[in-house]
Amino acid sequence: MAFLKEPDYSHGKLSKTAVVLINLGTPDAPTTSAVRRYLKQFLWDQRVVEIPRAIWWLILNLIILPFRSKKSAEKYASIWTNDGSPLLVHTRKQALLLQGYLGERGHDIHVAFAMRYGAPSIPDVLSKLKIDGYERILILPAYPQYSATTTASNFDAITQHYQQVRNLPELRFIKNYHDHPAYIQALKNSILKSWETNGKPEKLVMSFHGLPKAFLLRGDPYHCECYKTARLLAEQLGLSKEDYIVTFQSRLGRAEWLQPYTEPTVQALAKQGVKRIDVVCPGFLADCLETLEEIAMEVRQAFLTAGGQTFNYIRCLNESPDGLRALAEISEQHLIGWPTMITASMREQEKQAALISRSEAKRIGADH
């Protein structure tokens, strides 16, 4: 096996720690060609689609990509901003602000961000961190609920990259935080803030990204973790079982997915006489196509057309202080034992030790 070239080594380097926030990804532009490239990478992942490769190659390349890319590009264009994809914009800001929040807690840490599909890619980000001398890396997925299709796919990309690396860093992975008190509190505060401005709805819809039902039956815990998030959030909000409902969105193909489905559910609510609903997406850390277009546009229209009167989409945590404080607390718990709490005097001692180490290395080299 050919390994990637290692950066030049020097004795006595200061120890450095990084957190990598990983989100799903986005096309580079709202164009058919860019969306096609993105979908091809995303949908070819065996964690995402478990159909035998030969059969899936035909379906993907002859049916899905030719017909879905243009339609998806139009949807992306409807939410695209002057700064680019909302998912990319929010994730970049989250990484920058999270570094600040961790710094306020006394941690000397760099926070980078990567995309599982698209750019900046996981291999590119990990390679850059290695060049910059980061020897301890904490992986923070932007997926509060674990699934093999998301969190485990991150793991695949990371381990595949490091199979080509000779000198590995120390690695830690956060599996999930669907029931973390700080995350639930951040969601609660976001909803209460919306209610203070707009009033409470007749029904709160908690919409999560869907998965094929077969994945649940094969042991994926995502479904259960979504319901736990919803239950804990409802308890914090003081809601009864009649006040909220859990649904699943974003289906692909004809197979049965996790139910109830979001759009038919809100249509049924409207036909039952429910006039006002709020929709929140507790499985998304940042607003993206699935929230801004599918929920805030398509599902809104479905509810209003079916007889509903008021539809309020409650945005994701994005760059909210509560959300970032939650991410900082979650990260901090997984950083325990790593020397990240560096005071000025400690850093000075580390620099002096590095100088001594380099001096000894030169002496040993001279002796030989």
- 58-82 residue pLDDT tens: 999 999 999 999 999 999 999 999 9
DSSP 8-state class, residue 289: I
What the block records as the tokens of 92 is 């970049």
Tell me: the pLDDT tens digits for 14-23?
789 999 999 9
Summarised one tens digit per residue, pLDDT across range 276-307 is 999 999 999 999 999 999 999 999 999 999 99
> pLDDT confidence of 6, banded at 50, 70, 90?
confident
CA distances from residue 106 to 59, 332, 339, 346 in whole angstroms, order as listed: 51, 10, 11, 12
CA dist 276 and 152 (Å) reads 38
pLDDT tens digits along 234-257: 999 999 999 999 999 988 888 899
pLDDT on residue 346: 57
Say if residue 354's pLDDT is above 60. Answer: no
pLDDT of residue 357: 54
- What's the pLDDT band for 144 if we cut at 50, 70, 90? very high
CB 183 within 8 A of CB 177: yes
If you average pLDDT over residues 331-356, what whole number do you get?
A: 73
What pLDDT is stored for residue 54 in this prediction?
Answer: 96
Q: Mean pLDDT lowest for which of 11-15, 80-84, 162-166, 209-213?
A: 11-15
Q: Across residues 23-41, what is the average pLDDT?
A: 97
**Residue-wise pLDDT tens digits, 200-217:** 999 999 999 999 999 999
pLDDT at position 214: 95
Per the prediction, the chain carries an average pLDDT of 93
- The residues with which 247 forms a beta bridge, in sequence order, are 207
Residues making up the annotated binding site for Fe(2+) are: 209, 290
pLDDT digit string, tens, across residues 329-338: 999 999 999 9
Binding-site residues from annotation: 209, 290
Q: What percent of the chain has pLDDT over 70?
A: 92
Helix (H) or strand (E) holding 203: strand 203-209
For range 43-63, the mean pLDDT = 95
- Cα separation, 82 vs 101, in Å, equals 27
